[in-house]
Amino acid sequence: MTDAELDAQLMLLESPLGGEPDVRERERAAAWLLAHPDVARPALLALVAGGRAGPAAIELLGRFGDPASVAPLAALVDTAEPTGRAAAQALASHPAPAALDALSAALAAGGDGAPRAADALAARGDVGACPALRTAVGSADAVLRYHALQAAGALGCLPPDEELAALADADADADVRELARSLRR
């Protein structure tokens, strides 16, 4: 395998074209990179460290499961779209327990990354996130409350009935009230 081959696969992974052949080409590039972790992982980490990684490269990095990738991915969760969302999704697919901790920390930190972290915790499917999600349901930020409540519902760890009823009846945000009502049924 040559550096040119690795570079070609990295370029194909981030192709902006959206036709079906282009999607298949991106999938083949991702499969090739996953099959060559000894060269792909360091290359992807270098792209992230250098601020040159696109969303597909960031998301793929989580699939390698390398514990060394958790901190660089966690540092991106609060950045602008689409980078922040890609980093949260990478942590959602990352098998290391540290990825769960990183998402929980991003949730607790608030800001733009917190709703992404809630979504990623739901996608991760780990009920170990339930306490952090229940805490976030009490946030002053309506967007975070909504995403945390949605994630808690997906994981089957909704707040107690009386708290859910209070959200459904009196939350300041109409979307949160409607979501809480739908989860009570």
The C-alpha angle 120, 122, 126, rounded to 5 degrees, equals 105
Q: What is the pLDDT along the chain (185 residues), one digit of tens a residue?
A: 688 999 999 999 998 888 899 899 999 999 999 999 999 999 999 999 999 999 999 999 999 999 999 999 999 999 999 999 999 999 999 999 999 999 999 999 999 999 999 999 999 999 999 999 999 999 999 999 999 999 999 999 998 999 999 999 999 999 999 999 999 87
Encode 21-58 in three state secondary structure: HHHHHHHHHHHHHHHCHHHHHHHHHHHHHCCCCCHHHH
The pTM of the full predicted model, rounded to 2 decimals, is 0.92
Note if the bond before 37 is cis, omega within 30 degrees.
no
User: What pLDDT score does 182 carry?
Assistant: 96
User: What pLDDT score does 53 carry?
Assistant: 96
For the chain, report the end-to-end CA distance as a whole number of angstroms.
Answer: 56
Residue 139, classed as helix, strand or coil, is coil
| Helix or strand run (H / E) with residue 104 | helix 97-109
Q: Which amino acid is at 130?
A: C
The C-alpha angle 16, 102, 155, rounded to 5 degrees, equals 85
Encode 1-17 in three state secondary structure: CCHHHHHHHHHHHCCCC
Domain layout of the chain by residue ranges: 1-114, 125-185
Residue 154, classed as helix, strand or coil, is helix
**Could you tell me the two tokens for 108?**
């607790």
- Residue corresponding to tokens 């949730």: 107
* Nearest Cα residue to 85 out of 63, 126, 115, 127: 115
